[in-house]
Structure 1
């Protein structure tokens, strides 16, 4: 289920921070950790999605169009199988599997039994895809 290679420049697991003041957070990670911004887009819900590199890792940052404070982002081979396994392990659905979700070919989301949000998607290189990090 987790065997698929993620987007170029990403690892399987990517933290996703959701903040009220996106510009302040971007300035912080740049000043504190030497982050470099690689991608920025405006979401359909009015929020902004930014991807920054810190060392050899990517961090996704978005806001403020969601009540979440953070989530874990996973690149997976089979979104539907991971979604079903998560529900079987007592997760609560936050986004059922759907095609073309937030720019990914297929994605879904759950909240684990401890209240953490997980979003997972598969990755297929498309002409409109964000650049490699």
Structure 2
């Protein structure tokens, strides 16, 4: 299997009718880095991961995603997401295995499980 030293083997791609809005949300909530560049899918770096965002070029229907993101502070990321219009699905809570976790649904229909590692 061919891989690149600058890319993970699997990169999730979120299709939405509002790429700019979703990119702004991901930057504000998770500190994602990356810019919209023409018609190409936006490649956002979240820590050591990459997420692509695009409109699908008119070929693919909008498809909600369920994505887990590890952050330094679950409560702060959850608060930012809700402040930006996300709907709280699970408020921040300590899990039996040690993680602190919360879940939100963004305005584009995607569900984000936000966690801080307890290990």
TM-score, normalised by the number of residues in structure 1: 0.41
1 or 2, which has the higher strand percentage? Answer: 1
Structure with a larger share of its residues in helix: 2
> Whose relative contact order is higher, 1 or 2, with alpha carbons under 8 Å and at least 6 apart?
1
